[in-house]
Structure 1
Amino acid sequence: RPYACSHCEKTFRKRSHLMRHQQVLHDGERPYKCPDCGKTFNDFSNLVSHHRIHKGERPYECPECGECFTQNSSLSRHRR
């Protein structure tokens, strides 16, 4: 991995990945915008997860009680 971040020493195989990392994590760029409410995110997967709130999607179901969640992490926390 020849490309290292000067801020945190994380390494990347491609220069474009390093540049994206620096823009999002170190420069505060938030290029992904929710079309419903305008909230912005630094990562596309966070936008997808957030958008489930607007669409009413709750794809993570507890096998024990049937309660559903928008995020897998919320289901994991519930099951503890």
Structure 2
Amino acid sequence: ECGRRFRSTWDLLTHVRTHSGEKPFTCPDCGKSFTMNSTLTRHRRLHTGERPHVCGDCGKSFSRKSRLAQHQNLH
């Protein structure tokens, strides 16, 4: 136990996995495992080529919302 406190049970569970090494979400394409399903979803976009975040100004698309935000700062 590291003494950290969390507001939600989910945040605690996710943090505990950093100590236990548990990675219950596995990519069916390459076998890489992750602590959170959302991270697996983001990873799978590498295999599928999915780019759901689209710039409203120029139409360029990105696999990560954070990359879209960085791009939009250029406009």
TM-score class normalised by the smaller sequence: 0.7 to 0.9
Aligned residue in 2 for 1:29: 22
Identify, as 1 or 2, the structure richer in strand. 1
Distance, in Å, in 2 between the alignment partners of 1:19 and 1:76 is: 29
C-alpha RMSD of the superposition: 2.3
Tell me which of the two structures has the higher relative contact order, counting C-alpha pairs closer than 8 angstroms and 6 or more residues apart: 2
Question: Unaligned regions of 5+ residues in structure 2, if any?
Answer: none
Structure 1 length normalisation: TM-score?
A: 0.72
Deviations 1:25-55 (A, max 9, x none): 2222222111001111111100011112212
Q: Distance in 2 between matches of 1:69 and 1:75?
A: 6
Q: In the alignment, what sits opposite 2:71?
A: 78
TM-score (norm 2): 0.76
Structure 1: runs of 5+ lacking an equivalent: 1-5
Residues 30-69 of structure 1 aligned to structure 2 (within 5 Å): 30-69=23-62
| Count, aligned residues | 73
1:11 deviation in Å? 3.1
SS, match of residue 26 in structure 1: helix
Runs (4+) of structure 1 moved beyond 6 Å? none
